[in-house]
Structure formats: C-alpha cells, structure tokens
Amino acid sequence: MHLITKNIYIKDIKSGAKISDHFLVAEKTLAYSQKGLPYLNLRLKDRTGEVEGKVWDNAHEWDKVFKKGDIVQISARALNFRNAVQLSVADVVKVDNLDIDPADYFPVAKQDIDEMFKDLMVFVEQVENSHLRALLDAFLQDEDILRLFKRAPAAKGFHHVYVGGLLEHTLSVVRLVDFAAHHYQGVNRDMLLVGSILHDIGKIYEFSYDSLIDYTDEGRLIGHIVIGLEMLDAKIATVESFPPQLAMTLRHLILSHHGVLEYGSPKRPKTVEALVVHYMDDLDAKVNAFQEFIGNSAHDSESDWTPFNRFFERFIYKGK
C-alpha cells in the first residue's frame, strides 16, 4: 500500500507560504465573529508541533466534512497573527487514516520500543523473589496488556506524551530506582524494581491513544492509580500462595506513588521503597517535561528563555 507523503511539517511553515498538505485535527470548534458570522477555529498537528487554523467562509458546511481526530488535507495560506503563524484555510478534504504513516502525525518515543522492552526485561530477570517474579510474568506475558503497555503514553499533556511514552518512562524510573537500591543500604531492590515497573500500569486503560491522546471514561472516572490497583489485585490472585504482607506493601506503593493527597494518591508513602519510587517517578516526569518544553521552544532563536510554562509557573532557561 502506498502511503501519503507529507511535503511540509508545521515547524517549517513560514508566514506567507501557500500550504497544501495533510495534518491531524487536534481541535475543532465553531465560533462566531463580533459581527455574528460563523467560522471554524482549528488546531492542526503533526509530529513536529501544532498550528492554529481558521476557516472563515462557509463554516457550517465545512463543519460537517470532518471532525476532531481526523487526518485532513488542507489548502491554506500561512499568515502572521500576533507574532505566530496561523493558517487561513480555504479547502479541507478528509483522508482515510489507513493511507497515512502515523509517525508523521503522532509523536513517538525517540528510542526503539522493542529495544526499550528488551532493556526492561533485563531488570525483570534480576528479580529474585519468586512471588514477585511470577507476578511480573503474569503481567508481561498477558498479550493484551503487553500490546497496550508498548503503545501507551505516560500522560495526556505533561510528560512522555507520545506513543511508547509509558514504556520509556517506566524504564527510566526502573534505572533510577536501581541506582537508589545500590546507593542506600537496607532497601528492598526487588520491591523497587517491581513497584517501578507496575506503578503506572493503569495508564494503559486511563488513556485512549489510537489517534489523539485523551482520557477514557474509565480514566476520568476512576484514574490510573485505582485502575492499577485493581489490575494488581487480579494478577496477585493468579499467583499461588502470594504472601499477604508482600501484597499489602506492593499495593501501598501503587497507591502512594503520587506522593501527596492533592495529586491523587489516597496515601502518602510510608515505606522506604514507596518513597523512593515516588521521588524517582516525579523526577523523571519533570525532567522529561522540562526537556520537551525546551525542545518545543527551540525554534524561537531570539531568546535564551522559553515562553512561560503554566504547569511549572516559570520561564525555563534554554542556555546560549
């Protein structure tokens, strides 16, 4: 099958250019001007970024042609609006998703997914406790869970927001807790490894990620911490004679990995292992968020600083 080839990516669009290419519709809303005239407000996306678009004419008719999450071919003129590029769209054609290369439109992990999973399995094979190892096998030999685990993002808008992001984040946290296990005396390395591998497992069901990354109904109503705990309990039940005390400490680690009540953890960390996983999880998420924000601001060469980051409530220094 011949896939559609993109001609230009969003990061390369300059004001004044005529655009005829394919983009993912990340947002679409029908709005009205001060004169009461309808127009479509669009946010178009590819793997390099996002750009705003406007459909000024025949908005009601165009509104029926495509929806949020579709891949569309647009004809447009790139304009400068408030120091940013905006597309004035004249024509839109919906495209079959089977005809496109998803890597052109959806950001993916920079590292190879299968290679990352191989690296993760090196740590899995080092787990010495037979019950914990059997538990990991129950998860990672489940084909449905494994398929989703390799594709899922780690978040919708904060960190590792791309296909394979959950696996990348999990592997990074595992490497960090492994360092901590060798640095601090008396820490249970098996618990750290298993806890870090499973701490975000509920995210495979918290998000939908076939096209746009968004929350599922289960994700909004229940959340990945409780989903992950339910998954953990179900798999523990399949492991013969799993020690109740071991199960309780692992359940506590999952419940407390966000660290504080206001971030969604029903409990704060009360074991050393839970504390280590929480801080390594938080560290990896925030470093990735910093780096991604700096990378997305790299095109602005006029300043050594990023735009204001609402989540971190600060400007971030890019360096010279």
Residues 162 and 169: their CA atoms lie apart, in Å, by 11
Model pTM above 0.85:
no
Query: For residue 45, what are the β-bridge partners?
Result: 24, 50
Residues 208 and 204: their CA atoms lie apart, in Å, by 8
Q: Residue 141 above 90 pLDDT?
A: yes
At 106 the pLDDT is 77
Residue 210: DSSP 8-state: S
At 309 the pLDDT is 86
Residues 2-8 have a mean pLDDT of 79
Residues 266-272 have a mean pLDDT of 96
Per-residue pLDDT tens digits for 46-75: 888 889 999 999 989 999 999 988 889 999
Q: Residue 1 above 80 pLDDT?
A: no
Q: Check: CB of residue 149 under 8 Å from CB of residue 199.
A: no
Residue 314: DSSP 8-state: B
Q: Residue 129 above 70 pLDDT?
A: yes
Per-residue pLDDT tens digits for 144-183: 999 999 999 998 877 888 889 999 999 999 999 999 999 9
CA angle, residues 113, 116, 118, in degrees to nearest 5: 110
Band (301; pLDDT cuts 50, 70, 90)? low
Structure tokens at 178: 């492994």
At 2 the pLDDT is 63
